[in-house]
Structure 1
Amino acid sequence: MNRIKMWDWKRGSILFALCLLSLGCKNNLSPQSNNDDTVTLTIPHHPLRNEQDLDVLLNEIGDARVVLLGEASHGTSEYYTWRAAISRRLIQEKGFDFIAVEGEWADSYRVNNFIKGEKKDSAAAVNVLRQYDRWPTWMWGNYEVASLVTWLNAHNQSRTTQEKVGFYGLDVYCLWESMTELMPYIQGADPALVKAAQNVHQCFQPFSADAQEYARAVANASADCRVETSKLWNTISKQSNGTPRIEALFVAQQNALVALNGERYYRSMVSSNTESWNIRDRHMAQTLRRLLDFHGPDSKAIVWEHNTHVGDARYTDMVNSGEVNVGQLAREEYGQDNVYLVGFGSYSGTVIAGSSWGAPLQTMPVPEAMPGSWEQILHELSPTNKIILSKDIQANEYLSKRIGHRAIGVVYNPAIEQRGNYVPSVLPKRYDAFLFIDQTRALRPILPPTSATQPPDTYPSGH
């Protein structure tokens, strides 16, 4: 299912016409009415040319405990490189403790162990990222992430064990791998726990690690592993009072949590897209909370996810169908002053995506943004990279309405983009800041160790 909704053509077209008719559309605009009733838009912005230009963003982030960094696609190089630049500065200058990504727990925990281990070179970083071998492999198996992983490994060499920066996956898809990863942690444990884990393995075994096959079996009322996964989670949760501070127990619990919520996700997706979306985002928010608890009361987190997870859902059309997301849940749980949401977007360029679920990756063109969209307005303002702070545009009456904002998933068809790739958004409220990259290029993927087609773990959501 394409999760990106159609936006309001009429309102967007009017807004774009207003911008084009204004005399100052290519400069910093000021609000005024002319005799011909055209209106100019005020969009103050800051240049984004190098890492020093991030000073204004770091200033605004202040003492926030959680910083969520979005992206308008999973296949754009600049989104990854600018998020890496921001993350390095947050770690170095503000003491952030870990990066949590829209990736699988088991694969990402291997990256976590890599960056906390002995010093390795960039070739070793590339090899560890090849372990992201399930479709879409390019999301974390890419050279942009390899550069960051190399830096994190080097950065951690001078830090104590407790001070080392971590790297974790928040997602829920890969419950089979999490169950495999769980078993070594519980060898010799309470027999009831071992038995509960074995029962989960046995329940899922007929589906050969194929999530879609399990979902079909649930739909046909021939499978249901909810009792087994619930019993495993309840049994392992009794091993500690709340979130454990012992890492081995924390990891074991997290793998069991992935099994619990992964089963719920795949079971619900056959009947309700909204429910499956909410299960997934609530799982990611729960994992983020567990990581913060594990790292202590003063810990700070950086989150990398798609804009559809980062930007507060209450200020998009997602709210119409009852969908929530991580950005909204974080603001509600930690308070808006402790959470800083950063969106990303671009006008045109190229992107890595697939033409269908599980299809080979392709480098695809990203057409010029649709007239009246947020990205088109920013391009007409000036065809340069820029930082927009929400506090500077909150008084703008036009931007307080929903405007189409482009979002590209792992499945993409540029030819029909204008029919559904724009999310109606109140930008000053959806994000605290927005980074606009006028022209972008495709991500540089690391080829997985095998060319065999893997099941599309992100099914049915493109983000």
Structure 2
Amino acid sequence: MGTAAQTLPSFVKEKEHMKLNLRMNMVVAMVAILFQTSTVAAQQKSAKDNNITLEKKAIKAISLKDYQSFKASVAPLIKEMSVKKVIGLGEGTHGTAEFYKVRYWISRILIEEKGFNYIAFENDLSDVWALNQQLSSTDDLNKLMKDHLMSIWQNEETKEMLAWVKSYNAKHNQKVTISGIDFPVLKPDVEMLMALLKKGKDTTLMPAVKSMLAAASFQDEVWIGMNDKTYKADWKLLGKRSKQGYMTADSIAKQIPTSKLAPTLKAEFEQALTNLKQGFAPFYSATAEGDRDSLMASNAALILKDSNSKMIIWAHNAHLGKTKTYDNAVGGTGGYLLKLFPNNYFVLGTGTANGTFAGTVDIRPTNSNPMKAYTLEKPITGSWDEMFNNTGLSSFYFQPAKTTAAKLLKPLRFIGFGTKSDKSTYDTVSLGNMFDAFLFIKDTHAATPLK
């Protein structure tokens, strides 16, 4: 999840040194690739009926005892979800064990019983493609995850889901595909293009694809280097190489129709190339690719193009919500998905109030961010988190639009991959406008690091 509030100002200075005319929305999208706690205090919007509470009949208690108990307790929710083509499973923090666990269980139900066959991460599209290619044959899930997933996904809870998918695929003809819909790093995109050309035995485009490797690698180096305060980026060279990379990718895109690749490989080639252009675009002022959330939605649509498949997306609440947050500066993937899949998108938000969560002090998301456990601060007065914490239930879900609190405006906590959970991480929102359903777990724990 991303916001400009913390990371944007320093980058604007760097941009000035670069003398590149970057469009503001793309700077926001690319530089703040994940939400790193906003320095903007929760907006104090007024609400006429701020004392409204949830009706008891609207709250559905859930069991976290085990998979079967959980499955029985969310049966009505699954019934409503299952008729949609795309399901968004949000997370209130990028580092809470229980959020990974319940999303794995919900995904399992949807796959086993409702025909869903894609699980997509808020992670680089091509990196996850490489993971999916090796999932069935690997004997080392830890290494596979560390090589191809950002640190926020490198935990035992996500590993349990991947292990289940591996086992499921070994026993069923209809396979589950693990995908990515984001574009933080670029080298994996070039490597995916090269792998597809090699597999399709079409070497015509190979020289042009290989020529992008230097630009992609350099842009990745700068991105990762920003986590080191001593790193000095050559912004002028970055702008030059990113422009060259984009222009080459754009040229290759025009040649795809005449490629000899088989239709399936050609479709995957198009996905990787589009992702590569999206990554280069923020550093090339003549492009107009769109903001990050629209691009993630477009990637999901590209993966499902001409397909009867059904997708489950794992990402932050702020992305998957149907409305944007922080004065429309953050999120909105869900809103774009609604436009791309009219009446065919359902989003579940998740939240918590107490316990611990995993976060990193790094400002740029990578596959090597150090993740540590941090204590959740007490929910602020008047917030959704406080309201839910006081219901007397340890875990439950409800459908905001079906309650008297449908349009109620209250602060909700949005913790990304940063380490803060104070008042600066709140924004005032209407849950009825953002989510079709919301699942709350009163006490949660930091995600478990890979063993």
State yes or no: 1:235 paired with 2:252: yes
| Residue matched to 1:330 | 337
State yes or no: 1:126 paired with 2:142: yes
Displacement of 1:83: 0.4
| Residue matched to 2:166 | 153
Displacement of 1:299: 1.4
Aligned equivalents of 1:107, 1:77: Cα separation in 2 = 23
| Residue matched to 2:12 | none
Larger of the two Rg values belongs to structure: 1
Give the AA of the match of 2:293. D
Q: What is the aligned counterpart of 2:398 among 380, 388, 413?
A: 388
Alignment RMSD (CA, Å)? 3.1
Displacement of 1:332: 1.3
The number of equivalent residue pairs is 396
Q: What is the aligned counterpart of 1:6 among 30, 36, 41?
A: 41
Contact 2:118 2:176 in 1 (8 A): yes
Counterparts of residues 135-284 of structure 1 (less than 5 Å): 136-137=150-151, 139-160=152-173, 163-187=174-198, 189=202, 191=204, 193-204=205-216, 209-211=221-223, 217-218=234-235, 223-236=240-253, 238-240=255-257, 246-265=263-282, 279-284=291-296
Q: What is the aligned counterpart of 1:345 among 326, 344, 351?
A: 351
Q: What is the aligned counterpart of 1:357 among 357, 363, 371?
A: 363
Contact 2:43 2:427 in 1 (8 A): no
Give the AA of the match of 1:403. K
Contact 2:88 2:313 in 1 (8 A): yes
Runs of 5+ unmatched residues, structure 1: 20-24, 30-41, 269-274, 448-463
Aligned equivalents of 2:344, 2:244: Cα separation in 1 = 37
Displacement of 1:239: 2.3
Deviations 1:197-231 (A, max 9, x none): 23322445656733266995446886252343243
Aligned equivalents of 2:121, 2:238: Cα separation in 1 = 34
SS at match of 1:255: helix
Q: After alignment, is 222-231 or 5-14 more displaced?
A: 5-14
| Residue matched to 2:114 | 94
Deviations 1:394-451 (A, max 9, x none): x43xx5143211111111234xx11x1012211011000000011100101226xxxx
SS at match of 1:312: coil
Q: 1:245 and 1:44, CA in 2 relative to 1: closer, same or farther beyond 3 A?
A: farther
State yes or no: 1:446 paired with 2:450: yes
Aligned equivalents of 1:99, 1:225: Cα separation in 2 = 30
Contact 1:350 1:441 in 2 (8 A): yes
State yes or no: 1:105 paired with 2:125: yes
Aligned equivalents of 2:92, 2:389: Cα separation in 1 = 16
Displacement of 1:104: 1.9
- TM-score, normalised to structure 2's length? 0.79
| Residue matched to 1:56 | 76
Displacement of 1:129: 1.7
Q: What is the aligned counterpart of 1:47 among 44, 61, 68?
A: 61
Contact 1:351 1:365 in 2 (8 A): yes
SS at match of 2:74: helix
Q: What is the aligned counterpart of 1:429 among 424, 429, 433?
A: 433
Q: 1:184 and 1:301, CA in 2 relative to 1: closer, same or farther beyond 3 A?
A: closer
Runs of 5+ unmatched residues, structure 2: 1-6, 8-35, 64-69, 227-231
Displacement of 1:92: 1.1
Counterparts of residues 358-377 of structure 1 (less than 5 Å): 360-377=370-387
- TM-score, normalised to structure 1's length? 0.77
Aligned equivalents of 1:97, 1:245: Cα separation in 2 = 22
Deviations 1:107-156 (A, max 9, x none): 312332244x35x7xx63334223247xx52x222111111111111111
Aligned equivalents of 1:206, 1:127: Cα separation in 2 = 24
Contact 1:261 1:279 in 2 (8 A): no
Aligned equivalents of 1:219, 1:431: Cα separation in 2 = 43
Give the AA of the match of 1:339. Y
Percent identical across equivalent pairs? 21
